[in-house]
Chain A
Amino acid sequence: MAEDWTFEALDAEIDDIRHRVLQHGRFLASYFVGRDTEAELMLLAAATQEPLLFAGPPGTAKSDLVLKFVESLGLGGEDYFEYMLTKFTEPSEILGPIDIAQLKDGRFRRRTRGMLPEAKVVFLDEIFKSNSAILNTLLTIVNERKFYQDGAPEPVQLRLLFAATNDIPEQSELVALSDRFVLKVETRPVKERHFEALIDAGMRTEASRALSQRPWADGPASFIDFLKLKRYLDLHFAESGRLGDHARWFPPAIFAELRRIVRVLETEDQVYVSDRKAVKIYKLIRARAFLHHGGAVQAGDLRVLRYVGNRRAELPIVEEKVNSLLGLDG
């Protein structure tokens, strides 16, 4: 169980874990064309167990990225749940059907085997098309990592949530769910710039699947590595909070830079950053710094800010703006 891992025990192997995880990212990216950013963000999302949203048109490898990532971690079967949502999707399709036998006894319980509550990694396509019944359940699952069976909360196994959408809605009902995805990345088609490489990579994947081969299934890192990494980060943040040594891990000058960039995004581009999101951003930056170089946050770690936009139209603007601000010091 993750709770049994102590800081000391993890500290002994954390550098190896870190290197394996980074290598895993490169390994995953090698099976795609022009998806290095997505792969890097998936690592970060997995290391921090923060949800990641892909926003892009159909056919831009969103589902394939998640599937290969899952398989590369050695997960499969009931550990992974994937579904495409529509406005007609009923809760039973993702949470499991009602157990009729128990219903006859007056208990409202669902049979969750192979469904979302028991999956460690979940991918929900067209997540914002879901209706309010599913929406409310998802929010509880994402926020509290539990869902209700017969009125009583039960923990879910969910560790990694990936989602995809063609557009990010602005209705107030859906903003709550959208805000849970601190990281949103725009997946753009690559065929204009990498046509030949895309064909090659795509055909290799097709051939592999046809021959039931999965060369990507043997990645450098395992799911356990990611769990240990997350545990280590949690313990590290807790210790850091206890000692009050945030400045050691997030130098004041870089922290000031973070604050400036967030302020500029809010003021000049009307990008809303909620209090919750600000805390999450800080955590993600610290995690990225640890993952990539094991030390204090550097200016380059602030590139996480590229992906904090809210609306679809904001995503490229925020990315470009953050790039330009981070590039000011050469």
Chain B
Amino acid sequence: MKGLRLHGAAADLARLDALLAALPGLADAPWWALDDPASGSYLLVSEGFSSEAADAAGVGLEDVDPRALAPARRAAHLLEALRPVPAPHDEVPDDALFVVPAADPAATRTVERLLRLGRGDATLTQWTGPGGLTLGIRVAQPPLYLLLRARDGDEPVRAYARHRSTSLWVAWSFQHPLADAAAARLGEAGALVDAAGPWTLVPARGQERGLLALTDAALPAPIATLSASESEPVRFTVALRLELDRPRPASLWVLRPDELPALQPLLEATPLEGLGAVTLARLYGEAGVQYVVRLRSGAEDEGIADRLAGLLRSPGYVRVPGAERIFVPAGQRLMPPMRIEALRAVLQPPEGGLAVVQATGDGPSILRIGPAPEAPLRDLVDYIALDHRATLDALLEQAVFAIPAFHLDRTLTPTRAAKRPPPMPRQPRVKRPRPVAPVAPVAGEVATEAEQIRAWRLEAEPLQTRVAAGGLTDAAAWQRLGELLGHLGDADDAGLCLEAAAFHADDAASARAALEALITGRMAAQGVAAARLPEVMLAAATADRPGPDALALFGAAAARDAADGALMDGLGPLVVQAFAQRQGVASRRLAWLALRAFHGATGDLLGLTRAKEVLLGALNSDGLREAFDAPRFVRLGLALGGEEAVAGAGSDLQRAALTSAWARLEGDLDDLDLQATLYRAIFAVGFAQAGDMSRARGLAHDVEELRPLFDPPGRALLRLYLARLECLGVDDPGPIWERAVAEATQGLSSREQSAVDFARRRSLWLAEGATPPRRLDSGVEARLALLAADADDIPAALRAPGLGYDYLIADLVEGALALADATGREALMAESRDAALIALEQLDIPGHRATVIGATLRTAALLEDEAAVHGLIELFMRQIPEMESIAEILRAVEPAMAALRRIGLGSEAERFLLALRDVARRGHREAVKVAVFVADGFRLLGDVPAAERTLAEIEQAIYTPGLDPIARFEGASTLFGTLRAWSVSAREMAADKALESLDLFRDNFTTQRYFRLHRFLLVERVVDALSDTRAHGGGRLRLWLEAEEQAVRRRIVADWRSAR
């Protein structure tokens, strides 16, 4: 006979397709499958085979000798005849079925194992077949151990994994080559498909019952029974004792008669009303007369108790809480605690009286005080007026005529006249500001104010667009824009534009004109009259922390005056002090203007060089700063640009994207499922981030309602997401978050805590506090601190690091090069770079070598040393194949790429990206991360088509079935982390694909018994990307600042060179 040989490979399906196309009726015809153990393949034979038709279809059949093969397995149709193939990974399925004969001890053992592993959530179904009663134990996200045991063990337990949501169950770690078709064929039945191929048909929906409900627990232990005894009950005697307690103000004292006078100061100092709160009773007992002083109830806190205790030198007694008539010494309590009735029965206070427990050397003693009349102290005080007036009068009479003698000195020395104050410093002649010519109104129309404003705006708009493109060096454009913005009342932006105009001006006159306009505008905005300008300059120069406005005016005026040779005496050093600093609050352009003017006027080339180094060092470290170097219209405009319109906390497009994503997800969710509730919580945070608080609150409310239904780890995570929601918009969320974490994790067992911590460490929003931040080694930190104090030592320190481990050397090199860059001194930077390459030779571990190369590359880029950059890129490329971790590559590459862009070496940056793209295409486990970096790199270089092509490759890689679960998740995580900076439409498209493919994201962690970690973490990443409102605008602004930085650098260096 003829048969079709199948090998369990993908090519089988193509041959089957061809065969069925030629003989369509074969699909439903009976088949026989014969295994060929020698080759591992199997043959399919059908009566409906026609060799001719098969040959015509190009499907080769072969002769079959059934005697040489394993016994045939009959199958009702082709799908049943096909043998499952091994799955690429042993993944834990969402739904597993353990099938075992009910009578076999393995059934009980399987149930026991499930219960011991805490999986009482499993359900049981049963059916009767030829082999007798069979049990099916269904477990969601089953323990991997049980799956392995079923597959590899020697018990008659078989494990099956459910294919999607169908009633087809395939032997675990195998997959049916045409699973969808097989499932579709089943209809109302279910099927268990063994690894060898045979199908067992079972009811699709049997009655399922919970495992715990069907389990009768037994305790095989001897039982002993106790019954009530008739004898007298045992009684115990416990001696009460006094023990230290928190201090409370006393309200009772027992005094001897000789102690009573101690009250005198109280009587003399306390007003009558106050004395009404204190009562005194005189009593008589075995010890003779004693007095009881009491404070009215409620008066203990009025300070009288402390005063009494001080005067009486006795802490007194306090009431026992809940017992009005029982007192114990202040600062003590009776132990053991007893009910008040029992205490009364022991102490037996007299009717209407008190029982006072006193502390003696032998232990407590009881003083029983019978009822006695108590009188308030005020009723017991007689006041006497003590009038010494007669004595005083007599003294006065004596004193009137008893004036003591005195001596009058007539020889007074005249005082010298006060010195004349020193003359004021010479004030420079204040020039009248040049009036600005108003813009002519639109021709042919009456120039009303509104129309004038409109005209200015229309003229300003194209100029703003040119500025927003970045890197504009047209001084005239900057000047005109500054003037227009000044007219429109935007003094701050006008000032920045005029600073740029002066900075980029090609001749002194243009620069001066820009400065004049700048000064006029600043003075007007700050309400400074011309005559006060010197005073204001002096104040700004000498202030500890001058504000940006004051400093800006000072800088502009100083630049103008210095250029005119008219800078006030003494102001020069103050100019240097104010502007030659890295973290000053003036724009970099203004700082250079002021410093250049001052050093230029004084001919101080060394000072100019130092100023250049400081400013270039500042640019090397921090670049241009959004707050001080970018006009507001640029900041807003870049966020406003393109398709989005930012409004407050988020854009309409973002909210729409979130709504659409939630709608897509919500439809498939089971309301009472923890996973669904986690998604709800995540979307609640996302909507809040995007500014849709009402929807956020609605989802949060649902989450809060459902939270008690879940296991402790699930409840903890939900609580943490809700806490994250509460923290949004709070200035200092730290204490709120810490409290929330403590509350959420309280009472968790160690296993549950481990699960929650495991999830938190991998979460974007819940990780705060879960992982300690990476710190440098203390030795490296100390050395960097020394190098920061004396940067000249950096090259020597790098040539001979003297550190034992590669990672220490790499950290030292990275930190030291950053310090060298911050000096702005090219010679030092170059020497440090060369020294770093010497240090590189000491390193063996590829990841650390890459870090050093990356840091060195950054320095070379800042030096604009293209040859060195090229060489280092080549060196880095050679390093990549040896590196084990992509994270290491990216960590090393990122700062270098940023430097290449900032310096304008875009071609080198692009070459780097293309080389990295080749790395990504080699199929490394973490290749997706590299690809994401490459896509974003292209985007930052402005090559959007390349970025989008790479993005498409990434998505194809991530959503390919058969990819390792961890690689899939990490790839998607990296993708969405980067997509935050992309347009909303790009994010939305990526989100759609991710949510559509959510089922592909699995994990095999221990946490799976509580939640599907990768799935909800992926949803978190998606929602975070959709709702992020800063990265996109921030990214565009960063590009603008980088373009501006290039222009600023070039100008500074050009000015410096021309001054030499």
Contacts and interface: CB of A to CB of B under 8 A. Distances in A.
B149 interface: yes
Interface in A266-292: 267-270
Interface stretch (B459-467, B803-811, B982-990, B991-999): B803-811
Contacts of B754: 317
Contacts of A264: 143-145, 148
Contacts of B152: 256, 259-260
Interface in B770-819: 779, 804-807
A113 to B, nearest CB: 27
A54 B110 CA distance: 37
A132 B154 contact: no
A107 interface: no
B112 A328 contact: yes
Given A253-B154, A325-B145, A173 B805 contact: yes
Interface hub of B148, B845, B1005, B1008 (most chain A Cβ within 10 A)? B148
A264 B113 CA distance: 15
Contacts of A269: 1005-1006
B751 A171 contact: no
A173 B117 contact: no
A256 B1035 CA distance: 54
B839 to A, nearest CB: 15
A324 B117 contact: yes
A313 to B, nearest CB: 9
Given A260-B145, A330-B112, A268 B1005 contact: yes
A209 to B, nearest CB: 36
B140 to A, nearest CB: 16
Contacts of A267: 90, 144, 1004
B1004 A260 contact: no
Interface in A302-330: 316-317, 320-321, 324-325, 327-330
A263 B805 contact: no
Contact of B807 (A173, A259, A320): A173
A261 to B, nearest CB: 7
B109 interface: yes
A303 B152 CA distance: 21
A133 interface: yes
B431 interface: no
B113 A328 contact: yes
B144 A268 contact: yes
A135 B109 CA distance: 49
B517 to A, nearest CB: 59
B847 interface: yes
A328 B115 CA distance: 9
Contact of B804 (A87, A260, A263, A320): A87
A268 B1004 contact: yes
A324 B1004 contact: no
A112 interface: no
Interface in A120-148: 131-133, 135
Contacts of A330: 112
B153 interface: yes
B313 interface: no
A212 interface: no
B149 A260 contact: yes
Contact of B153 (A87, A133, A256): A256
A263 B148 contact: yes
Contacts of B143: 264
A295 B116 CA distance: 29
Interface residues of B, number: 28
Interface string B105-142: 00001001100110000000000000000000000000
Nearest to A173: B805
Contacts of A270: 1005
Given A256-B153, A267-B1004, A328-B113, A132 B804 contact: yes
Nearest to A329: B109
Interface in B826-845: 845
Interface centre among A263, A264, A317, A325 (most CB of B within 10 A): A264
Nearest to A131: B804
B802 to A, nearest CB: 11
Contact of B116 (A87, A135, A328): A328
Contacts of B847: 172
Contact of B805 (A171, A260, A320, A325): A171
Interface in A161-213: 171-173
A328 B117 contact: yes
Contact of B751 (A131, A133, A256, A320): A320
B594 to A, nearest CB: 48
A132 B805 contact: yes
Interface in B841-873: 845, 847
Nearest to A268: B1006
Contacts of B804: 87, 131-133, 135
A171 B807 contact: yes
A260 B151 CA distance: 10
A186 B83 CA distance: 49
Interface string B76-116: 00000000000000100000000000000000010011001
A63 B152 CA distance: 43
A133 B803 CA distance: 10
Among A171, A267, A329, the most chain B Cβ lie within 10 Å of the Cβ of: A267
Contacts of B806: 173
A135 B116 CA distance: 44
A162 B64 CA distance: 65
Contacts of B153: 253, 256
Nearest to B966: A270
Contacts of B1004: 267-268
B807 A263 contact: no
Nearest to B89: A267
Contacts of B117: 324, 328
A261 B153 CA distance: 13
A319 to B, nearest CB: 12
A159 to B, nearest CB: 28
A328 B144 CA distance: 14
B148 A131 contact: no
A44 to B, nearest CB: 25
Nearest to B145: A264
Nearest to B806: A173
A173 to B, nearest CB: 5
Contacts of B90: 267
A256 B109 CA distance: 17
B610 to A, nearest CB: 39
Nearest to A260: B148
A325 to B, nearest CB: 6
Nearest to B1009: A268
A328 B807 CA distance: 44
A267 B144 CA distance: 8
A259 B113 CA distance: 18
A269 B1008 CA distance: 11
Contact of A324 (B116, B750, B779): B116
B89 to A, nearest CB: 10
A247 to B, nearest CB: 13
Nearest to B146: A328
29 contacts: A132-B804, A133-B804, A135-B804, A172-B807, A172-B845, A253-B154, A256-B153, A259-B148, A259-B152, A260-B145, A260-B152, A264-B143, A264-B144, A264-B145, A264-B148, A267-B144, A267-B1004, A268-B144, A270-B1005, A316-B750, A317-B754, A320-B750, A321-B1006, A324-B117, A325-B145, A327-B116, A328-B145, A329-B109, A329-B113
Interface of B: 90, 109, 112-113, 116-117, 143-145, 148-149, 152-154, 750-751, 754, 779, 804-807, 845, 847, 1004-1006, 1008
Given A87-B804, A173-B805, 18 more contacts: A132-B805, A133-B804, A135-B804, A253-B153, A253-B154, A256-B154, A260-B149, A261-B145, A264-B143, A264-B145, A264-B148, A267-B1004, A268-B144, A268-B1006, A270-B1005, A320-B751, A324-B116, A330-B112
In order of increasing CB-CB distance, the 9 nearest A-B pairs are A131-B804, A132-B804, A260-B148, A328-B113, A268-B1006, A267-B1004, A264-B145, A173-B805, A264-B144
